[in-house]
Amino acid sequence: ETGVTQTPRHLVMGMTNKKSLKCEQHLGHNAMYWYKQSAKKPLELMFVYSLEERVENNSVPSRFSPECPNSSHLFLHLHTLQPEDSALYLCASSQTVNQETQYFGPGTRLLVL
Amino acid sequence: QKEVEQNSGPLSVPEGAIASLNCTYSDRGSQSFFWYRQYSGKSPELIMSIYSNGDKEDGRFTAQLNKASQYVSLLIRDSQPSDSATYLCAVNRPQGAQKLVFGQGTRLTINP
Contact list, A103 vs chain B (CB under 8 Å): 46
**Interatomic CA distance for residues B47 and A33, integer angstroms:** 19
Model confidence over B40-97: pLDDT tens digits?
Answer: 888 999 999 999 999 999 999 999 999 999 999 999 999 999 999 999 999 988 776 6
**Interatomic CA distance for residues A53 and A83, integer angstroms:** 30
According to DSSP, the β-strands at B85-92 and B33-38 are: antiparallel
Strand partners, A111: A12
- Give the confidence band of A98 by pLDDT, cuts at 50, 70, 90: confident
Q: Measured between CA atoms, how close is B43 to chain A, in angstroms?
A: 5
More confident residue, A95 or A1: A95
Given this model, what pLDDT does residue A41 score?
84
Q: Which residue in chain A is spatially nearest to B34 when comparing CA positions?
A: A101
Q: Measured between CA atoms, how close is B51 to chain A, in angstroms?
A: 12
Contact list, B4 vs chain A (CB under 8 Å): 42
Which of B36, B43, B97 lies closest to A55 in CB terms?
A: B97
Residues in chain B whose Cβ is within 8 Å of chain A: 4, 8, 32, 34, 36, 41-46, 49, 88, 92, 96-105
**Region B31-35: what's the mean pLDDT?**
94
- State whether A104 and B44 contact (CB < 8 Å): yes
Which of B34, B46, B99 lies closest to A98 in CB terms?
A: B99
- State whether A104 and B45 contact (CB < 8 Å): yes
Tally: H helices and E strands in chain A: 0, 11
- Can you say how many angstroms the Cα of residue B89 is from the centroid of all Cα atoms in its chain? 4
Strand partners, B62: B57, B75
- Give the confidence band of A2 by pLDDT, cuts at 50, 70, 90: low
Which of A90, A102, A106 lies closest to B100 in CB terms?
A: A102
Distances from the Cα of B53 to the Cαs of A54, A99, B60, B76, in angstroms? 34, 20, 19, 18
